[in-house]
Chain A
Amino acid sequence: MSQARLIQLEADILGKNNGYAAANRARFAEAGILALNLVSSPGSGKTALLCRTLDMLAGEFPCAVVEGDQQTSADADRIRATGAPAIQINTGKGCHLDGHMVGHAVDHLHPADGSVLFIENVGNLVCPAAFDLGEAHKVAILSVTEGEDKPLKYPDMFAAADLVLINKTDLLPHLDFDVELAMANARRVNHRVRLLKVSARTGEGMQAWLDWVRGARLMALSGRPSQAAE
């Protein structure tokens, strides 16, 4: 029987993922690619919003999409129908994307320099908050058919998001969803968050969201390390 010994590890449990995410981030920075990680509960309209976004941005600059889904490839097919390149990652029983998966997806996708890479995470407001993918921003989508209290129930996700899109606003006349309360709750967990109201169905509010994407893309382009050296 060997002697028990103590190994002082002090290791970050998510350290491996953070390493992959950092590598992705460096790669995006070098290529001037804006990577956005779209997170929400299932069915809040991530794919619908992406399809409309891609239609509206067509021809302006290159876009590419990584689709995370537990089982199907239906979402990637919907994206490809807009003409944008898309790759599906099936996570199986895994309930979130991680930095390693996204790195491989980007190898296959080869997004052009200066493009916007949209990553649709698995519909889940819990673990995607903890798994960095190397994105510039997390964008949380909250649809008006969910509760106003979602930001308080899932504070980690709303605290990690730089932008919250309140989607399906076309349904507001039929619901008693209190948009102001939902926005106040999001600010409670994240006082720096930006909030925009959109409808992927009617297109209402989409311009403000596209302007936000354009602005973030310019930041990614001007922040390229090689540019700084010139």
Chain B
Amino acid sequence: MHEMAICENIRVLIEEQARTQHFSRVERVCLEIGALSGVEVEALRFGFDVVMRGSVAADARLDIVETAGTAWCLPCAVTVTIGRRYDPCPRCGSHQIQVTGGEEMKIRELEVT
């Protein structure tokens, strides 16, 4: 459900680009999705095909670059990698951590004709 809403936003952005950058077909879409963005990549792939039907990006190939979740651990005073938002610090087990990266959701590039 959430991923469908994200795909609708992607479609709007792509169609806007099609008008301003003058292309009629998208061959490939490359997204950057952070591990902590709350998006399920599999659900996003499914939603993408459904939502892009009838648009300039119908049948486009979808590449997804998944970026790691990172956080600053207060007790350790270092940046650590976390897989999910509520994971503790992998070094000390503390929950006193502040997410610093991995929340992004971006369209990196489009291959168009």
Binding site for B on A (CB under 8 A): 1-17, 94-96, 124, 126-127, 129-131, 151-152, 155-156, 159, 187-189, 191
Determine how close the nearest CB of chain A comes to the CB of B95; give it in whole angstroms: 5
B: interface residue count bin? 20 to 34
Known: A9-B13, A130-B2, A130-B38. 18 other contacts (CB 8 A): A7-B109, A8-B108, A9-B110, A10-B107, A10-B108, A13-B13, A13-B105, A13-B106, A15-B13, A16-B12, A16-B13, A17-B9, A95-B5, A127-B1, A127-B2, A127-B5, A159-B99, A188-B95
Q: In the bound complex, do residue A11 and residue B13 qualify as a contact, i.e. CB atoms below 8 Å apart?
A: yes
CA distance A15 to B6 in the complex (A): 11
CA distance A127 to B9 in the complex (A): 13
- 29 examples of A-B residue contacts, CB within 8 angstroms: A1-B113, A3-B113, A5-B23, A5-B112, A6-B109, A6-B111, A7-B109, A7-B111, A7-B112, A8-B109, A9-B17, A9-B108, A10-B107, A11-B106, A12-B104, A13-B31, A16-B9, A94-B5, A126-B38, A127-B1, A130-B105, A151-B86, A156-B38, A156-B85, A187-B95, A189-B85, A189-B86, A191-B95, A191-B96
